[in-house]
Amino acid sequence: MSTLIETQGLQKYFKTSKGFLHAVDGIDLKIEEGQTLGVVGESGCGKSTLGRAVLRLQEPTAGKIFYEGRDLMAMNKAEMHHMRTEMQMIFQDPYSSLNPRMSIWELIAEPMLINNMYKSDKAGLNKRIEELMDTVGLAKRLTHSYPHELDGGRRQRIGVARALSLNPKFIVCDEPVSALDVSIQAQILNLLMDLQDERGLTYMFITHDLSVVKHISNEIMVMYMGTCVERAPKEELFAHPVHPYTKALLAAIPEPDIDKRGSLQVLKGEVSSPINPAPGCRFAHRCPYAKPECMGKDLTMHEITPGHYVACPYCQELKG
């Protein structure tokens, strides 16, 4: 199995009146072809910015991005335009991401027309649009409908069809089900998993819902304030979480069986500012195990078991 996407020291800072906001700060990741990396964390931790930076929808401040060994950061605008056919994104809000003045036919056709596909073949374009609508479960009778006439699930299916229209290998799914009803969430998740099996797609699946990421991911990366605090295969992460922040996230998952419910871990302390953060662990102000050694120097990821990495100098003690 080969690596499709890899980042090295990826950073994305935003300039503010008080300094630089470190939205993504030194992220290293690898996604194998045909696999799904789940990215989880609370709102504002930098998940969506990471997804956009990987696709260069937002230009990274520093770092490297490799797609099948090719350095995306070294590509010019024309080369990146060509790469867009291999990398796509499904956005969080299916209403705001669709042009309300365009019909379903126009919305799905737009990416292909921009990339000069079916330029003089109207019949071929129509056939392709019908195939995509059938693939994502949109009825043919909706071809000339507009986004405001559809429910959230159908609107998100349009987003999936647009992402598939150029036959990409890699798709960033930015919380694609968070704005949908629970029953519709399951339909969209199953659709994405079926498409992955049929087409060998590779996903970066961004969400704050750990039950969703457990369902769809092969590996999970936990982010906190722009940094990765833990990364592991999903079975390992749920069975043996090590970082205190990961443990707190897992403890917050609702458990329907009252006999299996554990104690809720309430995090105390103030959330530190992401603007010009001081070196050291950014979770230290809320961590019950924090020591003076946690501050003053940037932390590195430690591999505690094969494939399980934790950004904590005391991870072996916490594991034990």
Please state, in angstroms and rounded to a whole number, the distance separating the CA atoms of residues 302 and 308: 8
Q: What is the pLDDT of residues 91-103, one digit of tens each?
A: 988 888 899 999 9
129's CB contacts (< 8 A; 6+ apart) are 105, 108, 109, 143
Please state, in angstroms and rounded to a whole number, the distance separating the CA atoms of residues 225 and 211: 21
pLDDT of the chain along its 320 residues, tens only?
799 999 999 999 999 999 999 999 999 999 999 999 999 998 889 999 999 999 999 999 999 999 999 999 999 999 999 998 999 999 988 888 899 999 999 999 999 999 988 888 889 999 999 999 999 999 999 999 999 999 888 999 999 999 999 999 999 999 998 878 888 888 889 999 999 999 999 999 999 888 888 889 999 999 999 999 999 999 999 999 999 899 888 887 776 665 555 566 667 777 788 899 988 888 888 888 888 878 877 788 889 999 999 998 777 676 65
Q: Two tokens at 60?
A: 């990274």
Q: What is the CATH number of domain 3-77+203-255+262-319?
A: 3.40.50.300
Please state, in angstroms and rounded to a whole number, the distance separating the CA atoms of residues 199 and 170: 11
The amino acid sitting at 40 is V
Note if the pTM is more than 0.85. yes
- Identify any residues that bridge with 253 across adjacent strands, giving them in sequence order: none
Nearest residue to 165 (alpha-carbon basis) of 115, 200, 102: 115
- Identify any residues that bridge with 231 across adjacent strands, giving them in sequence order: 221, 309
Q: What is the pLDDT of residue 35?
A: 96
What is the domain partition of the chain in residue ranges?
3-77+203-255+262-319
Q: Two tokens at 58?
A: 């937002």
Q: What is the pLDDT of residues 200-222, one digit of tens each?
A: 999 999 998 888 888 899 999 99
SS (H, E, C) the chain: CCEEEEEEEEEEEEEECCEEEEEEEEEEEEEECCCEEEEECCCCCCHHHHHHHHCCCCCCCEEEEEECCEEHHHCCHHHHHHHCCCEEEECCCCCCCCCCCCCHHHHHHHHHHHCCCCCCCHHHHHHHHHHHHHHHCCCHHHCCCCHHHCCHHHHHHHHHHHHHCCCCCEEEEECCCCCCCHHHHHHHHHHHHHHHHHHCCEEEEECCCHHHHHHHCCEEEEEECCEEEEEEEHHHHHHCCCCHHHHHHHHCCCCCCHHHCCCCCCCCCCCCCCECCCCECCCHHHCCCCCHHHECCCCCCEEEECCEEECCCCHHHHHC
Q: What is the pLDDT of residue 287?
A: 85
Q: Two tokens at 183?
A: 């029953």
Nearest residue to 103 (alpha-carbon basis) of 135, 142, 141: 142
